[in-house]
Every structure is written in structure tokens, then in C-alpha cells.
Amino acid sequence: MHRPTDEVATPATDPATPVTDPAADPATRPATTASSWPPPSSSATPPPPPPSPDTPRPGPPERRGPRQTLVTALVAAVVSALVTAGVAVPLTRATLASDTGPPVTEPATPASTTPAGTDPTSVSEVAANTSPSVGFVQVANGGQGGSGSAVIVDPEGYLLTNAHVVDGADRIEVTLPDGNRHDATLVGSDPTSDVAVLQIDATGLPAVDIADDAEVGQTVIAIGSPFGLEGSVTSGIVSGIDRTLSSGQGQAALLGMIQTDAAINPGNSGGALVDTEGRLVGINTAIFSASGTSSGVGFAIPAATAMATAEQLIDTGTVTYAQLGISGGDLTPAIAAAYGLDVEDGALVAGVLPGTGAADAGLAEGDVVVALDGESVRSMSQLSALVRSRAPGDEVMLTVDRAGDERDVQVTLTSS
């Protein structure tokens, strides 16, 4: 996967940690939009479960019945798929959306693209109201330079951008839509989430409001500086949510990403994806493309995720991720039906790490996590993103299906 950066398409990196642990950085897993292993046929004999450490289960020991045997075999099959198939189809042509060309030093004429079926009046109004909150970022790194975008999130001079936009920069300059240029200080950068926070010496800035979440099908508007063209506006819809992007080459995976068909190109990285009320839905980050330019498949970091990361960077300069303490994979309807399970999707637990909140709460191999704090969980990557949005020490309520018996389990998250 590339992410369009200013100089070369070099994605941010992070030390590899266990892929499927919901708070750990899944750097070793290929990007996923769907599960890739086929469900076993009814005549196939499931592989035996791999050796695993003993895991505490609440209550007295239970006799292993036919269903438990199937669950154990299912866990083994999932573990095998994790090792041999990587769980999902890798996005080998995802590209970071920052400009690789020379920095643009003069303001460019804003451009706008509105797809058929979208009310151009509403897009125009949103663009007029929100564009003042999106700046143009230029970076210098030795004798090279690059550019991207940034979003004002605090009137006191804090802006969000992508970590890959400012990676290795010796000097960062932000040009605001009013034409004023400011030298920016890098407050902190987190390659794991690809979020960075900049600060400029200015107050009373027009900060964006933050949206709660994104919904598939909703209209969204991308604002940024593709190819150095400041104030460019495109629009489209949210095409998907809960996407996971990874090159499978040791780079940090990005979890819970928003997919959109609004045109995103090199230089849009760090820019705003907003809803029809002008609220920030996401930070534009990457595209899936064979050419390196928009092909209608772009990705943004959810605003809630970016803001949670930014708060830690502003407070401490670093980011500490919460950890649930499990490994596993996605339970799909096809696999659930093949083994006669009562739930159709969720995060299937294949192992529990000793000394973590999951172990203390009694989670066990074969459990299926179907909700966290009342929010439905459809995949391991979604669970990972939900846990990442929490802080170490937070208590969360997991809804867990164990052999057809659904129960709520309170878990205290630990540090990764």
C-alpha cells in the first residue's frame, strides 16, 4: 500500500505488534475489506486446534459437547486461515494522498467537482462555510519538499493532518484560506493512526465541528489541496465503513477507515471530509488506485479516532493505546452456518493473552464478541478500532456469545 505523500509514497511505519489484538497495531496483517478464506465444506474434517495456553473460564468446568467441539475446530480453522491466507485480500495499490510534486508557493484557484445527483447549492454552501477551516501544508526536508492539507480543530491554533504528510520534515508552513502563512510546530505525530497535530501562532481561528459518525450512503464533501490546488472541493457519498488498510509489508495498518467515492488525490492528505452540515467526518488519507490518482475509492480516518489521538498528542506528545488482550479473526455468516453457530458475525476469539483485561474477565477461546458498550461488532478490525478509541484503564462492556449463551462481560482495558 502506498499513501500519497509529498515526496515519495512511503507509508508511515510502526513496530509490529500482534495483528489481531484489538488494541495492538496490526502491522503484520494485510489490509482487509472482506474475509478471504472459504467456509469448510460439510464433508471436510476441521483441522485440530493449535496448542494454546490455558485460559481461565468463569464458573465450574463444563463437559465438552458436540457444539464445543465444533467451536474448537472453528477456532483452529480461523487460526489456520490467519496464518496461510492473511485473513483478507491485501490492498496492494492503496496510495497515500499527499502531493509528490514540488511545493506550490502561490495560492491556486479553488476547484470544485460535484457528481450527478448531488445538490450543488448545498455543496457550495458547505464549501463556503467549511473551507476557511482547511489549510494548505508545505513541508521541507533537506533539499526536498512536499505538500498536503490540514484541518483547524481548535481556535487556539491546533490543526490535524496526517503523520505521513509531515514525516521527516525540517520545516512546516501552513497557509490559511485568508492568505496568511504561518510557521507550524509539530506537536506530535502517531504513525500507528497516521495522525499528526500542528500548532500555529494564531488565535480565534474557525475550527470545524466534529460529527458523531459516518453512515453508508450519506453525502460527504472533501476539501483540501490536491496537487497544491488550494481550496479544492469534491463531493460524493460514504461508500463503506470499517475498512482496514495495510500493505502487509510491516507497515502500520489503519483500522476503521471510512471509504468514499469523493475524489481524493495526492495533496488531499490531512484534509477534511465533512457532512452536509459542515461537520468533520474524517481526515482524508489514502486512495486505492492503479494510477496514483483518484479512481473513486478513497479513505479517511474517522474524526472521532483522529480527535482521540490528537488529545493525547496535545497532552503528552505521544499516544498510548488501550489493549483488550485477545487474538482471533472475523466470524462470517458462511463460517457460522457451516458450523451451526447461533451468531452470524462478530470477532471470534482464538486466544487470550495472560495478564490482560480479557484474561481477568474470563474471556476464552471460542467466544464471539458481538458488541462493545452496546455497539454491534461485526469484525475483529471493528473491535480493534473501538478499543483503540478508548484509553488504558477504561472499563468496557462486551457482549459475548459462548456456545449459544449470550452474556455481558465487563473488561478493564490495559496498555499495549
How far apart CA 23 and CA 385 sit, in angstroms, is 8
182 is catalytic: no
Q: What is the CA radius of gyration of the chain?
A: 22
C-alpha cell belonging to residue 330: 472475523
How far apart CA 374 and CA 383 sit, in angstroms, is 12
Q: Which of 6, 190, 194, 345 is catalytic?
A: 194
269 is catalytic: yes
How far apart CA 286 and CA 257 sit, in angstroms, is 10
How far apart CA 264 and CA 276 sit, in angstroms, is 18
Q: Which of 269, 294, 381, 384 is catalytic?
A: 269
CA distances from 306 to 19, 159, 280, 348 (A): 21, 11, 10, 27
Catalytic residues: 164, 194, 269
